[in-house]
Structure 1
Amino acid sequence: MNDHSIFAFRSGDGVIAPDKLELTDAELQRARVQEQSADDPAPEPETLMQRASRFIATFSAATPLKAKWPEQDAHAPDYRHLSASTIGAATTFMLTPDVVELLIGANRFDPHGMNDVIALAFRGLALGKATEIGSRHEVENATSIEVTDVRPNHSDYRCLLGFYKRDADPTKRRLTLFSGSTVPNPYYMRGYYNKVNFGVSFSTACNMVPTGGYVFRVAAHKHGTIKPALRMTDPDDLAQDATCTVLRTTNDLIFGVDDTWDTSMPYDNVHCTYVTSVKAEWEASFSSAGCLTVRGKQLTSDQWAKFQAVLNQLGSGKRCDLVLLTGRDAGIAAAMLLNGQSGDDVALRRELIRLRPGSQSAEVARLREKLGLSAGNYFGPVTKKKLTERQTQQGQPADGIFTPELDTLWGWNVFGAPPGV
């Protein structure tokens, strides 16, 4: 995982054609060469010197830091834009293909995948009722899944990852979800913090990938030691590892709206959690410095084995875009469908319509123009970075999500006039 920004070397955002669903033989070879040299993060035994340095750095701080999720949604970049929602969304609700489709449309995503299969990831969502959180780990090929909106804590399985069979026939659409995580664990968060603040040797730059729609391909992680895995791919080159604007925290162990947005090559792939119970050294039941993880061990166990089975069916080099949103997003969408508000343009603009990584529309083109970027209708890492810079300049919390509310505040008319005006 790289620690340096590459923003200066990238001037625009683009996306590959919808029908580009697999690599050619030449592209596959190029991709594999790149994968072998990539700086993919993976758990490694800690040396005695590293352990001693970490111990000293931990107690050098005035108060020992604890990895935490922001206490208020308004302070969390992926939740801030939803904190003023007026929809009475239930904590436990039914996740259906219709909910996913509403979210895809509201965010102007256009995901694609081989055999109409795309990947899903929900940050802050658990299977079953509130009383079942942590005890249920999988539901496969379902038309409806009971889920509960929670918040991540960097230690437990409080996220869901899986697949959506997005068949052209709505009656054939199916959801598969497994327990996992979409946030880094305390070990990597603290290691990066100690490296930046105390000069402690630590090789991995910890980050959190923001919600959005991302291009992925079936490939491998960590020089082929985990294969198949889903590999984050550059949106305009299916054979190239992704450039992404990710969030890094160096002032504490909380990812908040006051942290740093860094455009880099983070290697935030989808792989196994490596363990299925809390490992004391990691303070978590998963290993991640920024990758998305599915519950299971490296030697193919539990839910990871079933996740890999789908990847094997798709095949190496095949495209499988991933939509990452929060459980709160999904809960609001489910409530709007249940209440008959999904066709209410005013309510949709207020609650769900957003521009963020992966959005593609004329609205994105107008946003990019306002941000002083080159012509284009794709919201990529450059758009994300420029938007966060603009928010910071305006003295606003930098979440990098463009909302109709922000559009009105800035007077940019990106979304056009509100309905009825």
Structure 2
Amino acid sequence: MLLSEYGSALSSRLLSTVTDMDVDQARQESEPADFQPQSQAAPSILETTPLSSDWRDLISPVAYEFIVRWETGGPAYYKQVIKEAPIWPGYASGVTIGCGYDLGYHTASQFAADWSSRLKAAAISRLSPAVGFKTVQPNRDAKVAWVKGFIPQVADIKINWDVAIEQFDTSKMPKLLRDLYGALDSLDRLHPHCRGALLSLVFNRGASFAAAGERYAEMREIARLMRTGGDTEIRQIPAQLRSMKRIWGENSSLAKRREGEAELFEAGLAESGTVGIMAMLASQMEAPEAAPLSRLRELPESETAPASDEIAEPDEEGLLEIEALAVPGVSPDSVKWNPDDSRQPDYAHLDGAPIGQTFTLRPGDLEQLITMNGFRVLGDPAEARIIFMLRGARLANSDKALDHEALLLTDQRPDHRSFRCVIGVYDRARQRLSAFKASTVPNAHYVFKCFSLANQPAKWIGNILPTGCYTFTVGTHKRGQPGEIPEVLRLSTSAAGASTVLVLRSLSDLIYDTMDHWQTTAPGDNIHPGQMSSGFSSAGCLTLPGFWRAGVHSGLWKEFRDAIGLAAGNNDGKQYSGVLLTGTDAALAASLRERAAPQGDIEVALRRLRYGSRGEAVGKLQDALGLDRDTDPMLGPITRMALVQRQQTMFGKADGILSPQSATALGLDVF
């Protein structure tokens, strides 16, 4: 769970100013996690949240690194400052070993159970006098004197970092999580960032949410807010964390830690949509403000709105303005594609399918994927041309393939910088395929810009369009704006509109994952030329190499236009279905065909409900989610948001895709 795997910009923001001196000061001023001051009786309505999952699923990697830095200092601090030896942190602590294991708050049997496999028997025996010994009243001065004399006697007992952090992960972390879950209600409603912020608080102050006295006023208020558990109450928790700074002073290291916890909690609120999802739906989809989600009907696909992201895409010089937002250690160069498929929303449902396969894609594979996803494409099957888009794929031998009966492709992953996807045309009448090097993800600059402006929702620019089936209509990109491009394919059912869909924005780091923020908006994620000599300009659009300059379409973009049938003349209003999937989806379909898999295996591997799915299974999903069933059930922005909310509630994360396996886990009788 080391965060370095994720290159998190949020972690950099929270920890870049934390010094070893801060950690040392905080360690001396902390209230041991096991220290329980006199309690003030909590109201009888408290019903704590059951702890049923592995702790690694309950907090985010960002939260884990935050806790490890503040609690242990990290490997360098542990080796150079603590020197791998027993210490006395101060305050009410006892002798502490490893990563914050306080012997004063453990029994002899607990100490033996936790450390007998990690320390030699002689070391266990020498440390035993400190077990249960705390520097608290009465006679605290005498106890402090004893501890100060004891520490030099055991200074030669060394516990290396690997052993210390392993004990921290397998013993201390789950214990403190149990304490947290035993003290607060509604934790299942929180984003893993938010749970991690509260866990950090428990590490530092103990689970003292019912403690008496003015010192614990904010702790009691957090408990009250969590008992109520409403969005309005949960939004107040960061303010309570900041209010605690009064105890140690605004310039203290613990004030810095409380600020970090507040910012981490706020990042979780922003990503999960816990705050104001209904208000967002009401404002962005023009639904009646008082209408609960369960009574909303799916938006007809023809409804459109002003595009939110489309007008922001600049040329190459315009990207320099975004780079000006960079701070040391956090810039567009920090943007990464998620290296863990299980945490990437487009890939999580594929259950660890192998990466990098080379495969042959045939028209029948696309037909199978269309059927298994319940997509209904436009036009007569005997005449229609369908746009297919494979996120994370490349043509094996060229940048383009024109009018083939099959395509040789290789599965890969995007990088937000180069063309690492495929956009193609499937001619159903002739059973022929054309395909081109392309991108289906935003440029790294826009991932960075959205993160940089996360606290200014009106300025959110930069999204990723989830996989699904969408309608595209020929029209103008950035009409009336600098950089206007005629005859692109608009994500819309009209030549000038922009369809309302559900997109993903990364607000707390620079990597898209299943804990990011889902937003219902009209992004204007159109298909257009990349308009750059290297890479592409996209705040969420789907792009191909090429230009519109001096009244001429050029490059692979022009060849794609030719393949889709956009001849000279006015084509505005011409419509196509666009099927957006991953290279891994396509590779899986091809492998099932090649081994003549039975229908049951195909259903399990490929059957999905995602954006654009239609039919009875979608109707059953709407029923199960408490939505009004559509006359012609379609999985659009409302149904997908309801599914996302159900996944977040059950799993603490969401991909907005329903497979037979996830339907069972969610208790949804759909397939």
Query: TM-score normalised to the size of structure 1?
Result: 0.80
**What aligned pairs does 1:142-153 form with structure 2 within 5 A after superposition?**
142-153=404-415
**Are the counterparts in 1 of residues 395 and 410 from structure 2 also a CA contact under 8 Å?**
yes
Paired-residue identity, %: 34
Evaluate the alpha carbon distance shift between residue 204 and residue 273 of structure 1 in structure 2; reply closer, same or farther with a 3 A threshold. farther
Q: Is the 8 A contact 2:529 2:557 kept in 1?
A: yes
Q: How does 1:288-307 map to 2 (within 5 A)?
A: 288-299=538-549, 300-307=553-560
For residue 270 of structure 1, the aligned residue among 527, 551, 555 is 527
Q: CA deviation at 1:307?
A: 2.0
Contact 1:12 1:374 in 2 (8 A): yes
Of the candidates 430, 443, 448, which is equivalent to residue 190 of structure 1? 448
Distance in 1 separating the partners of 2:297 and 2:364: 33
Deviation at 1:286, TM superposition (A): 0.7
The 1-side partners of 2:329 and 2:469 are apart by: 40
User: 1:74 is matched with which residue?
Assistant: 342
Corresponding residue to 1:166 among 428, 446, 457:
428
Question: CA offset at residue 40 of structure 1?
Answer: 3.0
| Counterpart code for 1:269 | N
Q: Which residue of 1 aligns with 2:515?
A: 258
- 5 Å-filtered alignment, 1:21-420, equals 39-44=310-315, 45-46=317-318, 50=321, 53-55=324-326, 58-59=327-328, 66-85=334-353, 91-113=357-379, 115-128=383-396, 136-167=398-429, 172-196=430-454, 205-223=461-479, 225-233=484-492, 240-277=497-534, 285-299=535-549, 300-309=553-562, 310-313=564-567, 315-341=571-597, 344-376=598-630, 377-415=633-671
Are the aligned partners of 1:95 and 1:330 in contact in 2 as well (CA < 8 Å)? yes
CA RMSD of superposed structures (Å): 3.0
Larger radius of gyration, structure 1 or 2?
A: 2
Aligned counterparts of 1:66 and 1:273: Cα–Cα separation in 2? 22
Structure 2 unaligned spans of 5+:
1-279, 288-295
298-307 vs 256-265, which moves further: 298-307
Query: Which range moves more in the overlay, 105-114 or 348-357?
Result: 105-114
The reply on whether 1:9 has 2:266 as its aligned counterpart is: no
Q: Could you tell me which amino acid in structure 2 is paired with residue 230 of structure 1?
A: L
Distance 1:208 1:79 in 2: 14
Structure 1: runs of 5+ lacking an equivalent? 18-29, 278-284, 416-421
Listed one character per residue, the Cα deviations across residues 124-170 of structure 1 (whole Å, up to 9, x for unaligned) are 01001xxx5xxx21111111010000011111111011211122xxx
Aligned counterparts of 2:323 and 2:307: Cα–Cα separation in 1:
31
Higher helix share: 2
Q: Partner residue of 1:24? A: none
Shift of 1:396: 4.2
Give distance in 2, aligned partners of 1:391 and 1:47.
36
Contact 1:106/1:353 (<8 A) preserved: yes
| Whole-angstrom distance in 1 between the partners of 2:440 and 2:514 | 18
Aligned-residue offset at 1:248: 0.3
Amino acid at match of 1:244: V
- The answer as to whether partners of 1:356 and 1:384 remain within 8 angstroms in 2 is yes
Cα gap change, 1:9/1:64 in structure 2, threshold over 3 Å: closer, same or farther?
Answer: closer
Higher normalized contact order (CA 8 Å, seq sep 6+, divided by chain length): 1
Letter of the 1:42 counterpart: E
Cα 1:71–1:37 shift into 2, 3 Å: closer
CA displacement at 1:336 relative to structure 2? 0.2
Q: Deviations over 1:154-211 (max 9, x none)?
A: 11111011211122xxxx21111111100011111112211225x7x99561100000
1:251-296 deviations in whole A, cap 9, x for unaligned?
111010010110011111101111242xxxxxxx111110000111
Separation in structure 1 between the aligned mates of residue 590 and residue 319 of structure 2, nearest angstrom: 48
Preserved contact between residue 204 and residue 289 of structure 1 (Cα < 8 Å): no
Matched letter for residue 195 of structure 1: L
TM-score, with normalisation over the residues of structure 2? 0.51
Structure number with higher strand proportion: 1
Q: Per-residue deviation at 1:308?
A: 2.6
